[in-house]
Chains A and B, each alone.
Chain A
Amino acid sequence: MKIRPPHSGVLLLILIGIVVSFYFLEQADAMLANPAVTSGWILLGSFVILCLYGARKKVPFLPIGKTATWLQLHLGFGVISTWLFLEHVGYRFPTGLFETHLYVLYSLLLISGFLGWLVMRALPETLRADGREVNPLRIPDELAGMVKKSDDCIAGLEPGELNPEILKGYFEVVRPYLCSGCGILPSRIHPEFGVPQSLIQRLQDYESPTVLFSSEPFLPVQRIVREKAVLDLHRVRQRWMRGWLFVHVPVTGVMVLMIILHVILVTAFKAGGAS
C-alpha cells in the first residue's frame, strides 16, 4: 500500500504556525501572563479555522479558494493545534473530569482525522487497482443479481450432476455467504481458489475444497463467489473511506460545545477570582 506524501505547503504551514505560536507564547511568558490563557486563545483560533473547512464545503460556488487548498489548511492547522493542545495542558495527563473529557474527545478527533488522512491517501489507488469502478449505490443490486445468477446455475443443473454434499454446502454455506454483508475488515483470500479463507474452512465440513472447486458444474458458482469477494473488498475499502467521518464529524460537534463551555467556565472563574 502506497501513501501519497503530504503536500510540501502543509509542512511549511505547520512550521510557520508553530514558529508564530511559539513567538506569542514567549511574548506572553515575558509579560508574566498565564501561558495557559495565551495558548488557549490561540488554540481556540486554530479550532475555529479547522471548523471553517466544513463550512467551506457547503459553499462551493464562492470564490474563496479551492476546497483542496482548504483541506491542506485544515491538515496543517490540525497538526499545529495538537502541539498547542499539549502546550495548553502543560504536557501532563488530565486530572479533573471535565479535563479528561476534553482530552479524550480531542484524542478521538486527532486519531480519526489522522486515520482519515491515511485512508484518503492510501485507499483510492488500491480501490482502482483491479480496474473496476464500483458505485456504492449499485452494490445492493449487484449482490442481488449475484445471488439470482448463482441460484439459476444450481437450478439449471441436471439431477445428480452435483454431489449432494456439495449442494448442501451451497445452501448452507455458499448461498448465505453471497447474501451476507462484508463487515469492516477485508477477508483473507485463499491464494489458490480466490475465495475467502473463512468460506473454505466452513466448506471443509461438507466437501474437500479441492474437489469442490474442481467440480465442473460448480465452476460458475465459484466465479460468482470470487466476484463477491472482490466486491466485498471494494465495500470494505469504501466503508473505511467514509467510516472515519462518522467519528470525526460528531466528535467535532461535541468538541465545539465542550470548548464553548470551557471558555465560559474559565471566564467565569477568572471574573470570580478578580472580584
Chain B
Amino acid sequence: MCPVTGSAIHDSEEDSRSHCFSPEAIPRVVLDWVQYNSILSIAWEECESRGKSIESILQIDARVVEYEKADIIIRKGDYGGSVLIPLEGEIRVNLEESGEKNFARKRVTRKRSWLSALGQIFRRKTPVERINTDSSTDRVYTAKAHVPRLEIDLEEYMSKNLTRRIGLGEICGEIAALRRSPRTASIFAESDCKLLEIRWQGVREILKNSKEFSHYLEDLIGDRRHQIFSGMKTLTDLPEAIQRTLSAKSIFERWGSDHWNRNFRKIMQSQSSMIDRESIILQQGHHMDGLYVLLSGFARVTNKEGSEEKTVGYLRPGDVYGLKELMKLSRTGVSSPALRSIRAVGAIDLVVIPSNDFVEYVLPELKNLDVDQLGSEKGLISTELLNFFLDRRIVNGNQTMVIDLNRCTDCDDCVKACAVTHDGNPRFIREGYRHAKLMVATACMHCIDPVCLVGCPTGAIHREHSTGNVVITQSECIGCASCVESCPYDNIRTVEVQDANGEAVIDLETGKPVLKATKCDLCLDQPSGPACVNACPHDALHRINFSDASGVSSIVERITG
C-alpha cells in the first residue's frame, strides 16, 4: 500500500510505489546508515516521538541515486525540488563563478521528431480531454543517474577552481528546494558516488516534525546564503570573499503572507484596493538604510503624488532597489531619503545591504555597470497597466499569455493549434483578465514562484530542471486537485483518465473516475515550442516574461500603441 494514496487496489510491489519518489524501496542498510551517520540523525528521534518516522517519509519521498566520477549532479541556475545527502564517494561544490563555464548546458531536452509531430494530426480526438494511462510524459527513475559529465581533467579543474568537498551525511541543495528558486551552485562527483535524494515534500515533512532539524537548516541556509548573491544579475560578479562578508553584514527579512494565494480569488472578487493590503517595506521619504535586494516574491514600487500612491514599477527576484539614492550618497556624502516606497506583493524575502557596506564592497565592483539598467522602474508601462499586472499578480509569470485585442480576429487558430498538439484538447482558454486592448488568457504562466507546487503531495507538478517551466508528470499525479486549488489564476484543471480502450478508469474505492491535473506545458516536446504563438496569423499572441523589462515594455508598447 502506498502511504501517499493509501490505495490498496494495486497488487505488485512496483505498482504500490507508483506515487513514491522511487519505484524501489530504500534498503534497510541505507536507512540504518542515514539514521546514525547523516544530518537526519538529529531529527530521527524527535520525528519518531511525534508519530511520524523519518523512515516512512524517506520510503515515500527519497531515493538512492548513483553517479560516476565527473558527473554533474546539480547545475547552477537549474531548478530543482530536492536535497541531497552523500552516502558513499565524494562530491564537490564549485564555489567560483569562473569555473561555471564547464557546467554549461550542452544539449537541450527531448523534442519530438518532425515525423512524430506530424502524426499528431491523425491522432484520435476526444470531445472532452482525457489522459491516456500509457502517457508518454512519465518520468522514469533509475538508480543510475544519466546526467551530463564534466568533459575536462578533474584534478586539473579542482586545482584551478575553488571547490569544497561536501562530507558524507551532510546536506546540500536546500536553498533551491525550499525557496523554489534556481540552484545557487553547481555540484559534481569527484569519484563514483551514491547519494540519498529527498524531494522537498519529504524535507517539509521532516521540518514539520523536528524543530531541531528546522533550526539546523535555518542556520545552514544562513551560513550558505552568500551563495544567494551569486545568482543575481547585480551582484553576480562579486568575489566569493565579498559575498561572504556581505552576507554576514546584511539583514535578511521576510514580509507578507506565505499563503497569499489562498484568499487571492476572494480578494479579487471583492474588488477592494490591493495596494492598501500590501505591507510597506520602505516608505518614501524615509531614511534609506541600504540596498534592497529581492530574493523571492514581488514588490510594488510606488511614488506618492498628492494623496495618491502611484505604481511606477515592480521588483522580481534578483531586482534591487535603492541604487539611485546610494549612488547619490557615494557622490555627495549626503544620505538621500528613499525616492519611492516599496510594498510586498504576497510573501517576499529580501536582503538589505547596509549603505556603508554597499559603498565599501559593492560599488567598486559596479563601476563598469550601467546603474540605470539595474533600476526598478520597468520601462514605459503606464501606472494603470502596472496596477493591472500587479493587482492580479500577473508579474509572477515567466510565460504569461498576452493577447493583443486590436489584432486578434477571434479566429481561434491558437486554440486549434493547442488542440492539435494535445490530442484534440486545448490546454488554455482564450478568455481572461482584460485591460484596454490587452487580454491575459487563462493559460499557465509558468510562474517564477509557482505556488501550485506547494501542496502537491507526490511532487507530480514540478519545475523542469533546465528551463524552470512548470510541468506535470502524469504518472505521479493522484488527481487530488491540490494544484488546482492553489493556482490563484485558475490555470489548472482536472480531467478524467482513460484506458487504452477509451474507457474511463474508475477508482475501485470511491467508484468515481480517476482524475489527473492538466495545464499548458508550453509544448515542451514539440519541435517548434508553444504552438499557440506559432499559429497566430496576426502576431496577436505573445508569451511575456515579466523578468525581462525591455521585452515587457516593447510588447506592451506595441499593444497599447
**Which chain A residues (104-136) contact chain B, with CB distance < 8 Å?**
120, 123-125, 127-128, 131, 133, 135-136
Whether B434 contacts A60 by the Cβ 8 Å rule is no
Per the CB 8 Å criterion, the residue count for chain A at the interface is 27
Q: Restricting to A218-241, which residues have a CB under 8 Å from any CB of B? A: 238, 241
A67 touches B405 (CB 8 A): no
Q: How far is the CB of B121 from chain A (nearest CB, A)?
A: 7
Q: CA of A191 to CA of B503 in the docked complex: distance in angstroms?
A: 58
Assess whether B420 is in contact with A61, with CB atoms less than 8 Å apart: yes
Closest to A2 in B: B406
**Beta-carbon nearest neighbor of B419 in chain A:** A60
Contact flag A128-B437 (CB < 8 Å), given A57-B535, A58-B121, A120-B538 = yes
- Is A156 interfacial (CB-CB < 8 Å)? no
Asked whether any CB of chain B lies closer than 8 Å to the CB of A63, the reply is: yes
- Would you call A62 and B527 a contact (CB within 8 A)? yes
A62 touches B528 (CB 8 A): yes
B407 interfacial contact with A, CB 8 Å:
yes
Report the stretch among B72-80, B112-120, B467-475, B547-555 that lies at the interface.
B112-120
Contact of A57 among B118, B405, B413, B437 (CB under 8 A): B413
Known: A124-B405, A133-B434, A135-B431. A60 touches B534 (CB 8 A): yes
B527 engages A67 (CB within 8 Å): no
- Please state if A71 and B114 are interface contacts (CB–CB under 8 Å): no
Q: Is B502 an interface residue when CB atoms closer than 8 A count as contact?
A: no
List chain A residues, Cβ under 8 A from B410: 127, 136, 238, 241
B538:A68 contact, CB within 8 angstroms = yes
For residue B114, which residues in chain A have a CB less than 8 angstroms away from its CB? Answer: 62
A64-B528, A68-B539 are known; give 8 further A-B pairs, CB within 8 A. Answer: A58-B420, A60-B531, A63-B528, A66-B539, A67-B536, A123-B409, A124-B405, A124-B538
If A124-B406, A238-B410, A241-B410 touch, whether A66 touches B533 (CB-CB below 8 Å) is: yes
- Nearest first, the 8 A-B pairs at minimum CB distance are A60-B417, A60-B535, A68-B539, A60-B531, A63-B528, A61-B526, A71-B537, A128-B405
Q: Is the CB of A68 within 8 A of B536?
A: yes
Q: Which residue of B lies closest to A137 (CB)?
A: B412
CB distance from B59 to the nearest CB of A (A): 40
- Chain B contact residues (Cβ within 8 angstroms of A): what range? 35 or more
Closest to B527 in A: A63
Whether B528 lies near A60 (C-beta < 8 A) is: yes
Q: Return the contact of A67 from the options B117, B409, B534 (Cβ within 8 A).
A: B534
What 0/1 readout, one digit per residue, does chain A (153-172) give for beta carbons within 8 Å of chain B? Answer: 00000000000000000000
A257 within 8 A of B: no
Q: A125 CA to B535 CA in the complex, in Å?
A: 20
Q: B residues near A, CB below 8 A? A: 112, 114, 117-118, 120-121, 405-411, 413, 416-417, 420-421, 431, 434, 437, 439, 523, 526-529, 531-539
* Complex CA distance for A85 and B427, rounded to whole angstroms: 44
Q: Tell me, in angstroms, the Cα distance from A238 to B118 when the chains sit together.
A: 31
29 contacts between A and B (CB under 8 A): A57-B413, A58-B121, A58-B420, A60-B413, A60-B417, A60-B420, A60-B534, A61-B112, A61-B117, A61-B417, A61-B420, A61-B526, A61-B531, A62-B527, A63-B529, A66-B534, A66-B536, A67-B537, A68-B537, A70-B537, A71-B537, A120-B409, A120-B538, A124-B406, A128-B405, A133-B431, A133-B434, A135-B431, A241-B411
If A60-B420, A61-B534 touch, whether A125 touches B528 (CB-CB below 8 Å) is no
Q: How far is the CB of B385 from chain A (nearest CB, A)?
A: 15
Query: Whole-angstrom distance from the CB of B33 to the nearest CB of chain A?
Result: 48
Question: A1 to chain B: closest CB distance in Å?
Answer: 13
Nearest-Cβ distance from residue B517 to partner chain A, whole angstroms: 23
Q: Which of A87-109 contact B (CB under 8 A)?
A: none
A62 in contact with B431 given A120-B538, A123-B409 (CB within 8 Å)? no
User: Would A62 and B117 count as touching, CB distance under 8 A?
Assistant: yes
| In the complex, residue of chain A having the shortest beta-carbon distance to the beta carbon of B406 | A125
Q: Are B406 and A59 in contact (CB under 8 A)?
A: no
In the complex, what distance in Å separates the CA atom of A110 from the CA atom of B121? 30
Select from chain B the residue with minimum beta-carbon distance to A63.
B528
Expressed in whole angstroms, the Cα–Cα distance for A62 and B417 within the complex equals: 11
Give every chain B residue within 8 A of A60 (Cβ-Cβ). Answer: 413, 416-417, 420-421, 528, 531-532, 534-535
- Tell me which of B407, B523, B531, B535 contacts A124 (CB under 8 A): B407
With CB as the reference atom, state the residue of chain B lying closest to A67. Answer: B537
Given contacts A67-B413, A124-B406, A133-B431, contact A61 B421 (CB under 8 A): yes
Rounded to whole angstroms, the CA-CA distance of A216 and B228 in the bound complex is: 68
**Residues of B contacting A124 in the complex (Cβ-Cβ under 8 angstroms):** 405-409, 538
Q: How far is the CA of A123 from the CA of B405 in the complex (A)?
A: 11
Question: Which residues of A lie under 8 Å from residue B121 when comparing CB positions?
Answer: 58-59
The minimal Cβ–Cβ distance linking A93 to chain B, given in whole angstroms, is 35
Q: For A242, give the chain B residue with the smallest CB separation.
A: B411
Chain A minimum-CB-distance residue to B421: A61
Residues in A with CB closer than 8 Å to B437 are: 125, 128
Cα A61 to Cα B114 with chains together (Å): 9
Alpha-carbon separation in the docked complex, A131 to B406 (Å): 11
CB distance from B553 to the nearest CB of A (A): 21
State in angstroms the CA–CA spacing of A124 and B539 once bound together: 13
Alpha-carbon distance between A232 and B406 when the two chains are bound, in angstroms: 20
Bound: A124/B411 CA distance, A: 11
Distance from B254 Cβ to chain A, minimum over Cβ atoms (Å)? 40
